[in-house]
Amino acid sequence: MHLSAFIQASPNHQIKGMWKHPADETSWGYRTLSWWQDLVRTLERGCFDGIFFADVLGTYDVYGASREAALRGAVQIPGIDPTLLIPALAACTEHLGFAVTFSTSHHAPYHTARLFSTLDHLTGGRVGWNIVTSYLADAERQGLGEILAHDARYDRADEYVDVCVKLWERSWEEGAVVLDAEADTHTDPARVHEINHSGEWFTVEGPHMVEPSPQRTPVLYQAGNSARGVEFAANTGEVVFMQVPGNERGAAVVTSLRERAAEAGRDPDQIRALQVARVVVAETDAEARAMRDEWSQLFSVDGYLALYGGWTGIDLGGYPPDTPIDDIEANAIRTQVERWKLEDPERTWTVGDVARRLSETAGGLGFVGSPVTVADQMEAFMETTGVDGFNVTTAPVPWGLTQVVDYLVPELQRRGRFRTSYEGSTFRENFFGAGQRHLHPTYPRPR
């Protein structure tokens, strides 16, 4: 089993309203380096694979045609740049990996390649890139470039990733840095190459600015859920972030992902599928349920509807609660209701259902109970769906993650489900085993 903490450098990530909990420290902790350092030390003590930073550029301003609800509810604002945290967090850990969200819509691939090579060097090979295409229209109004139509964003991202991988994998040969003082040569020019990429979206000559880092290419995360997004994930993602129901329909989604990867020439076993999961663990089931019920008193309906508005482009503030929601056709992440329909295909979802459902599944599928109960739930979910592990959200932070490390992890270790120590030194080795520091030979990019 693989475990990753799912968090954002913001007062409030997925569980809207939890910033009000007296034990939640994120309102001040998100902007305090020592707080983050304490958190990642806890995760490494629990042998977590990594910490996964969500991130957005722009605000959630669809609900009520205003960003007011987002500001009131701390809906992913305020938020700092998580990439700047990573070297400092790597300095106080030895094995934990750091996956960070970085958009293909707002940055040039040449810059992105340099950034992640830098981070990979400074972390000793412990960085991952969560590839997103972005969806908040508000980003356009901040000078961050046009948000293209949904499928066009993925078409552009396809080429974008190819450019980056060419720079990482093809520009510098191993041993290009010779440090030959007698010959007055730091780097052998014959071993550094242009990539000469010319495509529909990008023209990049190269060479790459950075010598090969420990992994060369960062661990590539992807979280696409639409049909085009799944195709992109099958061709691109090494770690795929999923939200599927714990039934045969969820299993079909995971199987389809691996089948499409195989069609692209990849080894399907070289994908790690991680389900987002909201974990509430305590010494007893009753204590855990009481904590979950305490959370529910703090949930922000407006916060969830603001979040949903950004995801779908639909302002639910203008609809009566009993209005049916049919298939969503919006320039955004438009598959949330489709995922819910996998669980209950016959149900007609309404506006009122959306806020209720989001509060019920805040931060992912819920696992609630004692260490034994939660471990049973996780094992059953993995066996039913075929996922490889979980992106864990919890609250209040950091208390909730400490509970997972102190209570759940020992139970998983006792069952032989989770590591008791790290085998390799890089992030990719955390997922794929000691010795696999680089992209697998079947990885299809660049094309």
Q: Which tokens sit at 411?
A: 């139970």
pLDDT of the residue at 346: 80
pLDDT of the residue at 341: 67
Q: Indicate the pTM of the whole model.
A: 0.93
Stretch (H or E) spanning 109:
helix 109-123
> CA-CA distance, 47 to 4, in Å (whole number)?
10
DSSP of 244-292: --SSHHHHHHHHHHHHHHHHTT--GGG-EEEEEEEEEE-SSHHHHHHHH
Domains of the chain plus CATH, in order, are 2-168+204-432 (3.20.20.30)
Picking from 385, 394, 307, the residue whose alpha carbon sits closest to that of residue 69 is: 307
Q: What is the pLDDT of residues 270-301, one digit of tens each?
A: 999 999 999 999 999 999 999 999 888 888 88
Output helix, strand, coil percentages for the chain, rounded to the nearest 5. 45, 15, 40
pLDDT of the residue at 144: 66
Beta-sheet strands, E only, within 323-425: 365-369, 389-393
pLDDT of the residue at 329: 52
Kindly list the averaged pLDDT for each block of 10 residues, start to end, along the chain of length 447.
Answer: 98 88 95 99 99 93 92 94 98 99 94 99 99 80 75 92 98 98 98 98 98 99 83 95 86 94 94 95 97 87 87 79 64 54 74 76 81 98 97 95 99 98 98 97 88
Stretch (H or E) spanning 50:
strand 50-54
pLDDT of the residue at 333: 36
Q: Are 140 and 189 in contact (CB under 8 A)?
A: no
Residue 318 backbone dihedrals phi, psi, to 5 degrees: -100, 10
> CA-CA distance, 419 to 95, in Å (whole number)?
13
